[in-house]
Amino acid sequence: MPAIAICPIRGLRLTHRNRGQARSYRFAWQRLRLTSTSFHGKMPPMTHSQTLPNCCPTLTAHWPLPQLLENAVLVSTRFDPHKLVDGDFQRCLIEPPASIQRSVAKRQTEFLAGRLCAREAMRLLDGRQHVPMIGEDRAPVWPTDVCGSITHSTGWAAAIVASKQHWRGLGMDVEQVMTSERAARLAGEILTADELQRMAAGPEHHVALGVTLTFSLKESLFKALYPIVLKRFYFEDAELLEWSNSGHARLRLKIDLSEQWHSGKELDAQFSVRDGQLLSLVAVPA
């Protein structure tokens, strides 16, 4: 089975270790990216349309996951690429990098929405007006004393931030729950042999959710650990040990990334499913 690299750029990308460099990212993304729509909480919005562009009319601070993360802030927004107009970035005081300026409206709106969420989350966290730009490794660049994560999909974006005094790393991802047919087709590329065996022993109606959850949690795991270890790793380098309907999950590394983050190291994670959407979070305590 080809190795699947996990990368901070718009999620997971396929690479082949025996070819020296990745195959076409565009092709890989079209094969594996799980598009999703809005995943919003029910708390009232904190920022209204008069201060935001029409493409991202409202920012909402909420907690749509089962276990509250102390000293962390999560902000989300719905967005509509069809409503993006010239000047939105300038009016929002957000400078798009050259790669975003050259991209299509959908990608531009994703970037703008995610950065608006990140800036508002930072403001709520400690009062700073910080917009994380894209680093050389394509990951968001946060202040040195802050960790965070940005996720976006069709029509929805969110950011979570926390001080490194409390959390060393954060990884968040949103996906649409796969159909059973899609899950069966992709399971062999996403799951390890042990994960496949455990899934086969479980109820059949859990397969689609289980494959989606494994995909999303490994995405979140990479986002949380990559800024700490500065090493890429692959789908087969981590495994989902268990998960429950309450939204708790547990992951285990199968690779040595550092002295602390070694093979056998286990981490807790959480997730929630609402309206066919799955949101996952991996948080590394300080």
Shared-domain flag, residues 99 and 165: yes
216: domain CATH number? 3.90.470.20
CB 193 within 8 A of CB 74: no
Q: Are residues 149 and 255 in the same domain?
A: no
User: What three-state secondary structure class fits 148?
Assistant: strand
Residue 170 · residue 283 · CB < 8 Å: yes
Output the domain CATH number for residue 97.
3.90.470
Q: What are the tens digits of pLDDT across the range 121-143?
A: 999 999 999 999 999 888 999 99
Question: Is 165 found in the same domain as 132?
Answer: yes
Residues 93 and 142 in one domain: yes
pLDDT of residue 60: 96
The number of folded domains in the chain is 2
- Determine the Cα–Cα distance for residues 157 and 108; give it in Å rounded to an integer: 12
Q: Which of 144, 170, 196 is the last residue of a domain?
A: 170
* 147, 170, 193 - which closes a domain: 170
Residues of the domain holding 117: 49-170
Res 274: pLDDT: 87
Length of the chain as a residue count: 286
Measured distance between the N- and C-terminal CA atoms of the chain, rounded to whole angstroms: 36
Give the tens place of pLDDT for each residue, 214-263.
999 999 999 999 999 999 999 999 999 999 999 999 999 999 999 999 99
pLDDT of residue 46: 53
* Co-location of 182 and 268 in the same domain: yes
155: left (phi over 0), alpha (psi -120 to 50) or beta: left
Q: Helices (H), strands (E): how many in the chain?
A: 7, 9
What per-residue confidence (pLDDT) applies to 162? 98
Q: What's the pLDDT score for residue 47?
A: 46
Sites in the chain below the pLDDT cut of 70:
1-50
The pLDDT of residue 153 is 84
Q: Quick check: is 6 in a domain?
A: no
pLDDT of residue 29: 34
